[in-house]
Amino acid sequence: MVDFLQRWFLRIAPLVTAPLMLISLLGVFAWVPTDKTLGLSQRIFYFHVPAASMCFLAFAVAGVTSIVFLRTRGEIWDHAANAAISVGMVLATIVLVTGSIWAHTAWGTWWTWDARLTTFLVLWLVYAAYLLLRNLARDNDMAPRYAAVLAITGGINVPLVMMATRLFRTMHPQVIGNPEGGISDPRMITTLMLAMGAYLTLFVWLWALKVAALRLENTVNRLSEDSYERSLPS
């Protein structure tokens, strides 16, 4: 299944991502109205919200594929989880950066220990630990299993981050359907949906590329090991 998705994503995603990105950018800077409460700073949400949504998707994919890996020990599932988290961390970092820029204009501070922000930072740190484990324990046969457990643990935290604005008292705005600000105009919602589609196809494209890179790296390592073993005196 992963092989099938990877091949098709590599073929289709680049063809869809470029026009969607272009159309969504035109919508952000040339079509949507300026928000009456947040002003021009509201336009950052068209990058912030899709990046957040797709990083949640990436971490969910990593959690599911990690569970399958622990059950089957199939290497391709480990590659799928590793690739999803690698791309998800890029998106999560975009979320933190764009969120901090917006917070500085709206709240007068780059960071506050708000419930949504804090739970998201914890999520980012968990997956940063995942990537650190994969890099530092690369030659350890148990590393993929430990990493899978860490990916599943991080995935459990995703619903908490998503529900933080409802479960806790928070300053983080409700972006969609908020009549006092955020995204409520139909043009805003349409542009946001286009941006979501662009980020989705970007995610699957980068995921497929990363899976291909991990498989190639694994093949090269095996060939290097075989070559080294053959070079040893018998």
Report CA-CA distances (Å) from 77 to 44, 46, 59, 67, 214: 35, 32, 14, 9, 11
Band (pLDDT 50/70/90 cuts) for residue 198 is: very high
Strand partners, 176: 183
Q: How many other β-carbons are positioned within 10 Å of the β-carbon of residue 156? A: 11
Task: Identify whether the C-beta of residue 96 lies closer than 8 Å to the C-beta of residue 47.
Answer: no
pLDDT band at 125 (very low <50, low <70, confident <90, very high): very high
pTM, entire model:
0.87
State pLDDT tens for residues 48-68. Answer: 999 999 999 999 999 999 999
The Cβ of residue 110 has, within 10 Å, a number of other Cβ atoms equal to 10
The model's confidence at residue 130, banded by pLDDT at 50, 70 and 90, is very high
- The more confident residue out of 13 and 26 is 26
Give the CA distances from residue 25 to residues 66, 87, 135, 145, 150, in Å, rounded to whole numbers and listed in that order. 35, 21, 35, 41, 36
Count of other CB atoms within 10 angstroms of residue 52: 24
Say if residues 57 and 96 touch (Cβ distance below 8 Å). no
The helix (run of H) or strand (run of E) holding residue 216 is helix 186-231
With bands split at pLDDT 50, 70 and 90, how would you rate the model's confidence at 47?
A: very high
